[in-house]
Amino acid sequence: MNARVNLNVKKDLLKYGAKDWNECFHCGNCTAICPLTDDNSLFPRRAIRLAQMGLKDKIKENVVPWLCYYCGDCSKTCPRNANPGELMMSLRRYLISLYDWTGISRLVYTSKKFELIAIVVIAIFVMILYINFTVYPAGDPNKWLGEDGGVLINNMAHWRKIHLADLIMAGLLSFFLITNIINMWYHMILKDKTVKVNILDYIKGLYLLPLHFITQKRFSKCDESVKTYWYIHLLLVIGYVTMFTMIVGFLEWFQTDKVHPFWHPQRLFGYIATVFLFLGIIYFYYNRRKKLRENSKYSHHTDWAFLVLLFLTVLTGILMHYFRISGMPKLTYITYLLHLMIAVPMLVIEVPFSKWSHLAYRPFAIYFSYIKNLAYKRK
């Protein structure tokens, strides 16, 4: 094996959340018990070995951590309490920072202070933009109300301005995420000279990307006890994707001056997505707080940051909606500002550099693994 040992890997992995993996003596129990192991793989044991040996380059090329969904069966049954499930989780965080060429992921994952400062700086930036490009509803409150009693939100923060800012942000986040995925592809596919993936392989596997992005289908192979976790995770993803699509794709329709009836699709989609998001937040918070499941026993600071930011984003969104339909212009203006000051830092940090990037990396890892297997079979 032509690979260099990196003595910092052990220290690094501790910062990314891994704890006792060095206790592993390779009995193979985790491979036997994991519901996702296939016949001829050393899943997840090979990744443990690479971490123990400090083979950073090999870790970077390794798809294994992305194939684990942290059901925790291996950790529960490991005779050495080496906690392989938690190592897989930490390796995923580590890999996110290795793919990220900007170095921001590494800072977010290894420094609470950096994450907090980044959130505050982005929030202040958003506040400055909002105050400069919107109109505070001063004077007679009635002049800010429409015929149906709702706040004329587009008179204070016109959807076109917000939409432009949305598109710029989405473009920037996509740029970082896509370039990081290219880096991942380079290390997993291109650098591996033992196999040549051809264009047909790439095309054949394409369907896996939307499939695994939306459903996290492999997760459903884990045993019954994690099914609830999978369903709630699915609801959270649906809620997030619905909200994101309405805000970035259809803001003119979503940010309306009208107060539609309760059953109007504009309100209904918003409510359903909000309920899904809230269910996910409460479930995952409760699990972490009570350490109910193997995958919630150890929480990294980025796990909490994600939950808190998402909760505050949803809460301020609900308040803003309530104030708007109840005809309270000043409170609508202020909660809209607060909503953006929380939602934007959350998206900027979480989507390309932290927790939410796994929504993209995992389907791509499954895709790369699949097309590599096709190429191996042909060989």
CA distance 297 to 288: 7
Return the number of the residue (44 or 317) whose C-beta is nearest ligand SF4. Answer: 44
| Position 259 contacts ligand SF4 (CB under 6 A) | no
Q: Which stretch binds ligand SF4 (CB under 6 A): 82-90, 136-144, 298-306, 331-339?
A: 82-90
| Position 366 contacts ligand SF4 (CB under 6 A) | no
# residues contacting ligand SF4 (CB under 6 A)? 26
Residue 316 CB neighbours (<10 A): 20
| Position 70 contacts ligand SF4 (CB under 6 A) | yes
> Within 13 Å of residue 291, how many CA atoms lie on the same side as its CB?
4
| Position 210 contacts ligand SF4 (CB under 6 A) | no
Return the number of the residue (48 or 63) whose C-beta is nearest ligand SF4. Answer: 48
Return the number of the residue (64 or 126) whose C-beta is nearest ligand SF4. Answer: 64
Footprint on residues 4-33 left by ligand SF4 (CB under 6 A)? 24-30
CA distance 264 to 246: 14
- Identify the residue among 13, 17, 45, 144 touching ligand SF4 (CB under 6 A): 45
Q: What is the DSSP letter of 323?
A: H
Min CB(297)–ligand SF4 separation in Å: 12
Q: Is there a contact between 48 and 21 (Cβ–Cβ < 8 Å)?
A: yes
Footprint on residues 105-144 left by ligand SF4 (CB under 6 A)? none
| Position 356 contacts ligand SF4 (CB under 6 A) | no
Q: Is there a contact between 166 and 251 (Cβ–Cβ < 8 Å)?
A: yes
Q: What is the DSSP letter of 139?
A: S
Q: Which stretch binds ligand SF4 (CB under 6 A): 62-70, 200-208, 250-258, 284-292?
A: 62-70
Residue tagged 């809230």 (tokens): 278
| Position 85 contacts ligand SF4 (CB under 6 A) | yes
Return the number of the residue (49 or 330) whose C-beta is nearest ligand SF4. Answer: 49
| Position 74 contacts ligand SF4 (CB under 6 A) | yes
- Identify the residue among 15, 49, 80, 293 touching ligand SF4 (CB under 6 A): 80
| 288, two tokens | 């972490």
| Position 319 contacts ligand SF4 (CB under 6 A) | no
| Position 88 contacts ligand SF4 (CB under 6 A) | yes
Q: Which residues pair with 151 in a beta bridge?
A: 145
- CB burial string 92-129: b at 16+ within 10 A, e below: bbbbbbbbbeeebbbbbbbeeeebeebbeebbeebeee
Q: What is the 3-state secondary structure (H, E, C) of 16-72?
A: CCCCCHHHCCCCCHHHHHCCCCCCCCCCCHHHHHHHHHCCHHHHHHCCHHHHCCCCC
Q: Is there a contact between 197 and 371 (Cβ–Cβ < 8 Å)?
A: yes
- Identify the residue among 48, 108, 314, 344 touching ligand SF4 (CB under 6 A): 48
Return the number of the residue (27 or 178) whose C-beta is nearest ligand SF4. Answer: 27
> Which positions lie near ligand SF4, rule CB under 6 A?
24-30, 34, 36, 44-45, 48, 68-74, 78-80, 82, 84-85, 88
